[in-house]
Amino acid sequence: MGTQAQRTEQWADVTPDAARRLLTAAVEAFAERGYHATTTRDIAGRAGMSPAALYIHYRTKEELLYRISGVGHRLALGILRRAHDGPGSPAERLADAVRRFVRWHAEHHTTARVVQYELGALGEEHHAEIVALRRETDAAVRAIIEEGVAAGDFDVPDVRGTSLAVLSLCVDVARWFSVDGRRTPEEVGDLYAGLVLRMVGHGNGVRAAGA
Amino acid sequence: MGTQAQRTEQWADVTPDAARRLLTAAVEAFAERGYHATTTRDIAGRAGMSPAALYIHYRTKEELLYRISGVGHRLALGILRRAHDGPGSPAERLADAVRRFVRWHAEHHTTARVVQYELGALGEEHHAEIVALRRETDAAVRAIIEEGVAAGDFDVPDVRGTSLAVLSLCVDVARWFSVDGRRTPEEVGDLYAGLVLRMVGHGNGVRAAGA
């Protein structure tokens, strides 16, 4: 679950304080019991507020999920875009993207699970908006891989499929990561950066005669 | 969701017919609304049965989840064990394991999601039993990778971490796979088999001069 600071930092832009407390309460409730088994009364109770106070900030339970999903997806997209726009070779930028993306999913695994597993509960318009953010996320990873291929640094027969696999590998960290496990978020990030460079045929550490 | 045949084949060993119908109804209900939002009444209704008829076969909702999880985990373990015990080099057996494991998660993604995302809802004893099955699953993949390293075919600095990443990559197919998507389960399986061989440093198709 990361530290308290890591858990709250992601909601720093949500104001006022009561709206932020309700979002974090909703994440915990959705993660524990699932979206459909959670009521707005549960969420208000966890935040130490009345249901009436909740409705000042969010009209529906779905709006809470939509806000959580939006914050999560925008943070993830920001991480990948900054890595894409950063200095260094495509390999350095891809490794940086993977390290940061993995660390985010490990440290914020509770939020990430809600964001990933409850997509189907969003209303139609909200779903379309989140899907558009997901396409931009895919595009950011694909762009780094394409730049590596263009530079002759990567060897990737299927760029779209490989981009999808890289993102999937990183996102799934949120499912299995445990603070009681063997590895820190940084260690998982380092391991995965190396594996992803192999996936794109950068060949770090791969024996030339291996095949 | 695969074909109807693919969906029912996984429950073929569950008898009598009424018990099997209840399991498939429970999978659908859990997948749609989550475990905690589903009642035994919902499940009986989907199976066209009365709640009393359900209790003849399953004492609790948790028992249904436990049976589903057991079937899913044993099928997954069987796939990997057969691949491990099969003929061929470690690379051929690892590629075979990944292809079959991915196809299973794509074709049975509804079951796989329930199995993976609702682990926390199992009772303590059942949870321990399923965790033991998961350790055997990890061990089956790790064994193939260790055999490849011992044979000098793979180059894997972190066997435990790489085994975990390979399994995670395959399991997450259940989250994103859609029958309306671009790729068939077989195509995803082939793509992933190639990516996993790269992850273990088998180097297929990786340019020797890439690094």
Nearest alpha-carbon partner for A72 in A118, A29, A35: A118
Give a yes or no: residue A44 inside a domain. Answer: no
Burial A64-75 (b: 16+ CB within 10 A, else e): bbbbbbbbbbeb
Per-residue pLDDT at A5: 52
Report how far residue A148's alpha carbon sits from residue A90's, in angstroms, rounded to the nearest whole number. 5
Rounded distance, CA A9 to CA A192, Å? 24
What's the ipTM?
0.91
DSSP string, B174-185: HHH--TTSSS-H
More reliable by pLDDT, A86 or A10: A86
Measured distance CA(B58)–CA(B61) in Å, rounded: 7
Q: Is A145 exposed, middle or buried (0-12, 13-18, 19+ CB in 10 A)?
A: buried
As for how many domains chain A has, the answer is: 1
Residue B39 maps to a domain = no
Residue A90 domain-assigned?
yes
Pick from B113, B158, B203: which is nearest to A206 by CB? B203
CB contact under 8 A, A165 and B207: no
Cα–Cα dist B74/B106, whole Å:
17
* Chain B: residues touching A (Cβ < 8 Å): 33-37, 113, 116-117, 153-155, 157-158, 160-162, 164-165, 168-169, 171-173, 175-176, 182-183, 188, 191-192, 194-195, 198-199, 201-211
**Per the CB < 8 Å rule, is A165 touching B208?**
no
Average predicted confidence (pLDDT) for chain A: 92
Average pLDDT over residues A60-72: 96
Question: Cβ of A195 and B199 within 8 Å?
Answer: yes
Cα–Cα dist B204/B211, whole Å:
15
What integer pLDDT is reported at residue B81 of this predicted model? 97
pLDDT of residue B7: 56
pLDDT < 70 positions in chain B: 1-8, 203-211
Q: What is the mean pLDDT of residues A94-104?
A: 97
pLDDT at residue A209 tops 80: no
Residue A98 in any domain: the answer is yes
Nearest to B199 among A34, A168, A198 (CB): A198
Q: Do A199 and B204 touch (CB under 8 A)?
A: no
Minimal Cβ distance to A172: which of B171, B198, B201: B171
Residue B9 lies in a domain: no
A118: pLDDT strictly greater than 50: yes
Min distance B161 CA to chain A CA atoms (Å):
7
Tell me, yes or no, whether B145 lies in a domain.
yes
On the CB side of A28, CA atoms within 13 Å amount to 15
| pLDDT at residue number A208 | 35
Q: Which of B37, B157, B203 sits opposite A37 (nearest CB)?
A: B37
So what's the pLDDT on residue A169? 98
CATH number of the domain enclosing B120 = 1.10.357.10
What single-letter amino acid sits at A3? T
Split at pLDDT 50, 70, 90, the class of A205 is: very low
> Does some domain include residue B152?
yes
Q: Find how far residue A149's CA is from the centre of its chain.
A: 25
Using CA atoms, how far apart are residues A1 and A39, in angstroms rounded to an integer? Answer: 23
8 A C-beta contact, residue A108 and residue A2: yes
The better pLDDT of the pair A209, B196 is held by: B196
In a domain, B27, yes or no: no
Give the position of tokens 């009393």: B52
**B43 contacts B64 by C-beta, under 8 angstroms:** yes
Q: Which residues of A touch B116 (CB under 8 A)?
A: 175
Quote the domain boundaries for residue B65: 61-199
Q: Other CB atoms closer than 10 Å to residue B188's CB: what's the count?
A: 25
